């Protein structure tokens, strides 16, 4: 289990670093777009994977933990979100900080639900017996 999560963590953290490097080149440096994108995308993907693969396919627990906790867990990052929020508030960028917090929190929950529902629809479309 630990090895599966560890290998998944390597993949997720490398993807996260790559996303941060790219987003720094294409977006406003004053807004933490890399963290926002990673957290929103990770929320959607984890919701989709949970309802479409993890709950209905009987995957090996090591694979589920490696993908869910390892890859997605290391790709998304609450600690970066929290620190970036504090730094925005501390620098007096209150509107930007509030927008970032609302987009991250509300958007993350919305996209997790959207991904979960999309995964359920995909499972039902294939005629699988959905356990949710």
Cα separation, 87 vs 79, whole angstroms: 12
pLDDT of residue 131: 60
Give the residue from 100, 96, 113 showing the smallest Cα distance to 34: 100
- Could you list the pLDDT tens digit for every one of the 132 residues in the chain? 999 999 999 999 999 999 988 887 777 777 888 889 999 999 999 988 888 877 777 788 899 899 999 999 999 988 889 989 999 999 999 999 999 999 999 999 999 999 999 999 988 888 776 665
Q: For residue 61, which phi and psi values (nearest 5 degrees)?
A: -55, -30
Q: Within 10 A of 56 (CB to CB), how many other CB atoms are there?
A: 20
């Amino acid at each position: 289990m630990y090895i599966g999560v560890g290998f998944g963590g390597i993949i997720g953290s490398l993807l996260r670093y790559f996303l941060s490097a790219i987003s720094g080149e294409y977006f406003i440096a004053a807004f933490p777009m890399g963290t926002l994108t990673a957290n929103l995308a990770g929320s959607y993907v984890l919701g989709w994977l949970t309802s479409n693969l993890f709950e209905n396919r009987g995957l090996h627990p090591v694979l589920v933990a490696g993908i869910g906790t390892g890859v997605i867990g290391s790709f998304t990052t609450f600690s970066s979100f929290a620190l970036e929020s504090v730094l925005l508030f501390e620098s007096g960028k209150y509107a930007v900080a509030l927008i970032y917090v609302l987009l991250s929190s509300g958007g993350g929950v919305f996209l997790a639900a959207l991904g979960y529902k999309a995964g359920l629809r995909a499972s039902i479309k294939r005629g699988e017996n959905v356990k949710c």
